[in-house]
């Protein structure tokens, strides 16, 4: 797992270096004063929640998401790199840290006892931003790979070996969708 995380981190840094180094004039001329705020579903929105993204330059966004993850308040923060920031459809890559798994168990012994646990770790993803004409708002779609820790894996396997049946299996990839409104002015 550590090797996958290091490889992904290296890929993100490499992509950022290429994106930023090839467009130094564009960066200095196209600053963004403001941020995006949006609602959506996915890790980058904290589950079902809200996301704020600040763009110091068009190619890079710093974001934080807060929402409900069916256990508690889910929080994630990270960085995104826009590949073609001036296009109406722009691919992006992102890395983040925060919640990336939840286990909810219902033990029905007449009393209806619930057991819930939220797990934290790094995640990485890629997606597309579809921008609207004029106002700069955007629809974001992403695929996210969570790097879950051994505490999650141990608990998941332990519950399965104890005879618990899960309604859903753990997914190696997750999806995100959200709509974001622009707040600011392009210079």
- For residue 185, what pLDDT is reported? 56
Do residues 68 and 50 make contact, with C-beta atoms less than 8 angstroms apart? no
Q: Is the pTM of this model over 0.85?
A: no
Q: 138-142, 161-165, 174-178 — which is least confidently predicted?
A: 161-165
- For residue 135, what pLDDT is reported? 76
37 vs 170, residue with greater confidence: 37
pLDDT in tens, 6-57: 444 444 444 444 444 444 333 334 445 568 999 999 999 999 999 999 999 8
């Amino acid at each position: 797992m550590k090797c996958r995380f290091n490889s992904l981190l290296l890929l993100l840094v490499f992509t950022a270096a290429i994106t930023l180094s090839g467009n130094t004039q564009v960066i200095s001329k196209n600053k963004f004063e403001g941020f995006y705020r949006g609602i959506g579903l996915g890790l980058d929105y904290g589950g079902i929640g809200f996301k704020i993204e600040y763009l110091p330059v068009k190619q890079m966004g710093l974001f934080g998401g807060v929402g409900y993850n069916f256990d508690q308040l889910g929080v994630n923060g990270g960085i995104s790199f826009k590949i073609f920031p001036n296009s109406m459809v722009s691919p992006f890559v992102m890395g983040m840290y925060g919640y990336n798994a939840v286990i909810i168990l219902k033990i029905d012994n007449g009393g209806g006892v619930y057991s819930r646990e939220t797990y934290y770790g790094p995640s990485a993803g890629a997606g597309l931003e579809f921008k609207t004409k004029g106002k700069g708002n955007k629809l974001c779609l992403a695929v996210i790979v969570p790097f879950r820790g051994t505490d999650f894996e141990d608990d998941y396997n332990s519950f399965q070996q104890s005879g618990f049946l899960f309604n859903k299996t753990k997914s190696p990839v997750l999806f995100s969708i959200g709509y974001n409104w622009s707040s600011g002015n392009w210079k």
